[in-house]
Structure 1
Amino acid sequence: MRLFEILLVLSCFALLVDLLFIKRSAKKTGLGLGIGSSVILVVQLFVEGYRWQLLLVYIMTVLFILIVLFRHSKKMVNLKIGKLLKYSLSSLIIILIVVSTSLSIVLPVFDLPKPEGPEKVGTQTFHFTDQNRDEVLTEDKGDKRELMVQIWYPTENRNNNKREALFPKDKEMFKKYIQTYSNSLNLPDFVFDYWKYSRTNSYENVEILPSTSPYPLVLLSHGMGTSKVLHASQAENLASHGFIVVTIDHTYSTFATIFPNGSVTGYKTKNTTLDDRKRVGNIWTQDVEFVINQFEKLNSGAIESQFKGKIDLNNVGVMGHSFGGATAFNATYLDHRIKAGINMDGSLFEVENRDVINKPFMFIRSGSFKDWLVDFKNDKNSDNEIIKQLSDELHIFKNVINQGGSAIYVEGTQHFNFTDLQFYSELIKLTGITGDINGKRGSSIVNQYVLGFFNKQLKGTGGNLIQGPNDMYPEVKFISPGDL
């Protein structure tokens, strides 16, 4: 809970105590509580902003303020009610306040954890259209593939800009955005309205930090049906350590993608069979290749921007979560410009002719990997297409490890611990899509290993963390070829 929300709840309880236990003759106490609570209420609403989780607290606070302030009036009728009714009503009121407060705790206004690097982080959004590629996920044959990408980079933030909102600031765009989410989950729009208060640690459209050498480039792909917004903290952390990071929204494979004209696209991707996965994976891989093309133009000045000459295109990395992780592997294998890659808990969609990869690669899996591996070994003799696919994938794992790459899993994590969803609410854990590990701890571990890998492969520094077990991170278990 935010500061004035806490103060508001405390003042609400203080008003209730005054009504129940303080005599009407204690005029100064009542007036002081009434005026103080009024100030707290006004400040909370205008500084922090209203949110529906505290609706019952707002109602009770206003009611209590009116009663406390007017109970000393000579015109106020001195009502006599029985103790049973008095304490029954009080108990009901306390329950309502506790419920409202609990909702505000389990559905908090969250801010992303602060990056661990020494630099401040700037961000900028670009809209790219691939005129050479038709959009195959829509019915209009004239559509071209359009992408929204967000860049994260080191900055000094000389003008002391305010931190950027995590979600769109424009009211109409934000409304369309949360409508897409709410429609997908069959929930009313207002449930997500409080997201507008969440903040990143980045500053929009600020100047890039001057450097004697260009910054390595890392591209980041989200999972199927999610969004680049779920990877903002990972992008910020890498940028704070001296990387330029690009998060890509793979259009029509997200919950929602917002374009500059105000249009919002939702999820339209068919992804039920292995053939579907390969077809969509090819689209996403081409997205990554196209975005690298655009950054070559930004770096050369062919596209006007502040990034001219600032990008080290000899040191390009790619990473992703889930389907985005599989895309990272595929793009790393196919695109000679990509030097290294990371797959965060993604099953590969293409395993044919992918077993000999001669580039540094890292697989980071969730804590369920160990149990999954046991189940697979019990079924590996089954004669079906999926088992063969998984067998080929594990063969790729072995080759990656044997050729100097890494494969680890993080105990206590589940699939969505590799996204920012773990910060949204503790209720997420009840669904099983995140594990028992503390969200900030899980995020920090993944960030440290991602940073260690890219520092070594793209900057030529460090890398000790990815060589083997470390006492600072006992949750991390290294996978050897013998385990597979």
Structure 2
Amino acid sequence: MRPTLLTALALSAALALSGTTANAAPPQLALPEPTGPLPIGTSQLHLVDHQRLDPWAPDQPRELMTTLWYPAAPTDGPSAQYVTPAESREILHHLQDLPPVPDDVLSTTRTHARTDAPPISATLPLVLLSPGFSHPRAALTGLAEDLASRGYAVALIGHNHESHATEFPDGRLTTCLACQAQDYAKVVRTRGDDVAFLLDELPRKTPLRPNGIAMVGHSIGGASAAQTLSTDPRVTAGINLDGTFFPALGHDLAKPFLLLGTPEHRPGGTDESWDTSWPHLTDWRRWLTVSGTSHSSFTDFSILSEQFGVGLPDEPLDGHRTAEITRDYVAAFLDEHLRGIPQPLLDGPTAGYPEVIFENPATRDDSGQASRGRP
């Protein structure tokens, strides 16, 4: 399996190493505090596409669970649940050699949003988040919360049957049927269709009226971001967080795009799809890698695995530092391309982030477009 396809296996290996603490109290799991000034609300959205059969369960219509995060009015009440107890049990079931912990321990993870808190506005820039293959959508919760605290609406998409665990409001729990097929090009196509359906339904099911839309994906979710930008004119900018392109881009994509990955995604690295796709990114573009990271560093698993007693394998960089880097560079990209606010952080290396390497520095012309080719 390529490093870019690692999913819960990275967390699995990390948790397996924590067996020496098996007799200790269950870990207290918590996501880092959001960095923006705004309180956060969240709600769950269950959608059924009666015009499309599920590609992994063709006797059923396609269903999606989506978690919405947004800046909200201050309100009291408990914080939102990270995953349900049933989802926690199923996720932990797929982790090998797990030391004894309560099977609902992931559902106890502390978040920072209030369920169904009233949003401060219906008109906000929207960020679509697509998780890695087999990951629950919750794996990008920390990023979603941070973006919401900075003033973005965020739709964290659960692609049914592509995660180890998705619980629906009626109590049904679906698992990763797509994991049996491992048809990654089909996953990418399916996610593009999921996004199109979600964007059709949002104005019908919610008060949200986006004033700009971007898509950010981890692993195969990053490949899906490129697919969506290629096919849906409503989505105008995208980010691939350490994901192999399935397939590599064979056509020009004239929309702003950021590649952010591990050192294995350096030019000439093990994933040739980045080298092949790069010349086809013909608008604003950056190719960044982060020293000391591994595939799941760009997810919540980096911090959560440390709270189990160890870090991710092959990740010497601290989980809070990887979260800080991911949040700041993703937010800078979105501020520039959804809000039109120039971000010097994206212009080149900075002393504040020595871990971030600009693999293909790009110059701005008067339109802000990146120059093509390598320096």
TM range (shorter): 0.7 to 0.9
Q: CA deviation at 1:277?
A: 1.6
Q: Which has the larger radius of gyration?
A: 1
Q: In the alignment, is the contact (CA less than 8 A) between 1:271 and 1:280 conserved in 2?
A: no
1: CA distance, partners of 2:44 / 2:158:
11
1: CA distance, partners of 2:309 / 2:175:
22
Relative to the length of structure 1, the TM-score reads 0.66
Partner of 2:69: 152
For residue 330 of structure 1, what is the amino acid of its counterpart? Answer: Q
Change in CA separation of 1:215 and 1:200 when aligned onto 2, cut-off 3 Å: same
Q: In the alignment, is the contact (CA less than 8 A) between 2:292 and 2:355 conserved in 1?
A: yes
Relative to the length of structure 2, the TM-score reads 0.84
Q: In the alignment, is the contact (CA less than 8 A) between 1:179 and 1:189 conserved in 2?
A: no
Q: In the alignment, is the contact (CA less than 8 A) between 2:22 and 2:100 conserved in 1?
A: no
Q: Secondary structure at the match of 1:208?
A: coil
For residue 348 of structure 1, what is the amino acid of its counterpart? Answer: F
Q: CA deviation at 1:197?
A: 2.8
Q: In the alignment, is the contact (CA less than 8 A) between 2:294 and 2:312 conserved in 1?
A: no
Partner of 1:185: 95
Q: CA deviation at 1:102?
A: 8.0
Partner of 1:197: 108
1: CA distance, partners of 2:167 / 2:107:
15
Q: In the alignment, is the contact (CA less than 8 A) between 1:368 and 1:413 conserved in 2?
A: no
2: CA distance, partners of 1:428 / 1:345:
25
2: CA distance, partners of 1:241 / 1:365:
23
Say which of 223, 233, 244 aligns to 2:153. 244
Q: In the alignment, is the contact (CA less than 8 A) between 2:265 and 2:274 conserved in 1?
A: no
For residue 220 of structure 1, what is the amino acid of its counterpart? Answer: L
Q: In the alignment, is the contact (CA less than 8 A) between 2:249 and 2:280 conserved in 1?
A: no
Partner of 2:16: none
Partner of 2:174: 265
Q: CA deviation at 1:224?
A: 0.2
For residue 114 of structure 1, what is the amino acid of its counterpart? Answer: E
2: CA distance, partners of 1:268 / 1:132:
21
Cα deviations by residue, 1:204-262 (Å, 9 ceiling, x for unpaired): 00100147xx2001100000001111111100111111110000111111010010000
What is the 5 A alignment of 1:402-441? Answer: 403-426=283-306, 432=313, 435-441=315-321
Residue 271 (structure 2) pairs with residue 364 (structure 1): no
Q: Structure 1: which 5+ residue stretches go unaligned?
A: 1-98, 169-173, 298-302, 377-389
What is the 5 A alignment of 1:234-313? Answer: 234-270=143-179, 276-297=183-204, 303=205, 305=206, 307=207, 310-313=208-211
2: CA distance, partners of 1:110 / 1:483:
43
For residue 395 of structure 1, what is the amino acid of its counterpart? Answer: T
Higher helix share: 1
Identity %: 28
For residue 120 of structure 1, what is the amino acid of its counterpart? Answer: P
Q: Secondary structure at the match of 1:118?
A: coil
Q: Which structure carries more relative contact order (alpha carbon 8 Å, separation 6+)?
A: 2
RMSD in angstroms over aligned alpha carbons? 2.4
Say which of 312, 328, 351 aligns to 2:225. 328
Q: Secondary structure at the match of 2:236?
A: strand
Q: Secondary structure at the match of 1:215?
A: coil
Q: Structure 2: which 5+ residue stretches go unaligned?
A: 1-19, 361-371
What is the 5 A alignment of 1:40-79? Answer: none
Q: CA deviation at 1:393?
A: 4.1
